[in-house]
Amino acid sequence: MKKVFLTEHIHEDAVAYLKERFEVVQGTSVEPEEIIRQAQGCSAILIRSAKITAEVMDAIPTLQVVAKHGMGVDNIDVEHATEKGILVVNAPFSNLNAVAEHIVMLLIALSKRTVRMDKLTRAGRFAQRNAYKTIELKGSTVGIIGMGKISRLVVKKLSGFEMNIIASDPFVKQEDVKDLPVTMVTAEEVYSKSDFVIVHTSLFPSTFHLVGEKEFKMMKPTAFIINAARGPVIDEAAMIEALQSGEIAGAGLDVFEQEPPASDNPLFAMEQTIVSPHNAALSDGALRAMAMDSAQGITEYLTGKPVTYPVNGDVLK
């Protein structure tokens, strides 16, 4: 019986599904040397945050498929996997709604200063309610950098707020989103015109520090930035400087350039930031869907069935 290695714990339904078909080996560490030691003889590896490097792949000669519990595969060396004929699969639709809802939550919380108002009220500073103005979403402009699946769902969810929605993506034309209430513009227009900038792109070498000092200087001093994609898409040091200098008004962040972030990260001491621990996708429904879809990809490949969500489809040719 073929063996499947789980680097981290996944939903029990997916574990049961895999155990009906394979021998399942539960890992105890995400350290590369431990993955290499514990996954010997395994045909598949299913990962969450663990990194599957070229070194790991080369050290497990039986490896045929790597499955990502979720959409982003920046923690897998896909190029090396392709060179070795190892298939990479993911779960690209499993957490879309959970992440989109989280982005909208961050936007609303920033506009209404929710966290700050909560702290003031709990501290008995009720009278200070007059010291802070909140922002009505109606009539304000939200700009989105990257118009993938999650961003398109965000547009649908924000449409009911009567906002002006603009977006920029070099690979998306207006006709591609003609059914959505969004206007495609240049990236410069997104930064300069938006009251809220949502950055949602995958992490590639081309998108590393996509948003930096230049982009923050384009933004309004009253504007907020939101990131629930990948931390390194934004130059965090430049963002901290922009927040400290008042170049932008605030930030809503679910991701950080270093994860977990250092406890003394300056972002944590700022009243104008709202942060969460990269948990946008961790709803009950999304956790099950991510686990089941990635387990399904392993099963399809190892049993010779058509693969629903291949990342490096050339391996299948």
Q: Mind listing the pLDDT tens digit for each residue in 164-210? A: 999 999 999 999 999 999 999 999 999 999 999 999 999 999 999 99
Q: Supply 268's token pair.
A: 């944590």
Catalytic residues: 230, 259, 278
Place of tokens 């990948």: 230
Confidence of residue 12 (pLDDT cuts 50, 70, 90): very high
- pLDDT at residue 168, as a whole number: 98
Which residue do the tokens 């990269």 mark? Answer: 278
Among 248, 247, 250, 242, residue whose Cα is nearest residue 270: 250
pLDDT of residue 130: 86
Mean pLDDT over the full length of the chain: 97
**Cross-strand bridge partners of residue 165:** 142
Please state the rounded mean pLDDT for residues 137-163. Answer: 97
* Torsion on CA atoms 150, 156, 157, 161, rounded to nearest 10: 140
Q: What is the pLDDT of residue 42?
A: 98
Question: Is the model's pLDDT at 132 over the cut of 90?
Answer: no
Query: Percent of the chain scored above 90 by pLDDT?
Result: 96
| Domain range list for the chain | 3-94+284-316, 96-275
Q: pLDDT category, 218, cuts 50, 70, 90?
A: very high
Average pLDDT over residues 236-261: 97
Asked if the model's pLDDT at residue 241 lies above 90, the reply is yes
- CATH number, domain 3-94+284-316, options 3.40.50.300, 3.30.70.890, 1.10.3720.10, 3.40.50.720: 3.40.50.720
Mean pLDDT of 223-227: 98
- 317 has a pLDDT exceeding 90: no
Token pair 């399904």: residue: 296
Q: How many beta carbons lie within 10 A of that of residue 171, not counting itself?
A: 8
- DSSP symbols for 31-85: SHHHHHHHTTT-SEEEESS--B-HHHHHT-TT--EEEESSS--TTB-HHHHHHHT
Look up the pTM and report it: 0.88
For the chain, the straight-line distance linking the first and the last C-alpha, in angstroms and rounded, comes to 25
Question: How far is the C-alpha of 190 from the C-alpha of 146, rounded, in Å?
Answer: 11
Same fold, 3-94+284-316 and 96-275: yes
Percent share of the chain, pLDDT over 70: 100
pLDDT in tens, 34-88: 999 999 999 999 999 999 999 999 999 999 999 999 998 999 999 999 999 999 9
Homologous superfamily of 96-275: NAD(P)-binding Rossmann-like Domain (3.40.50.720)
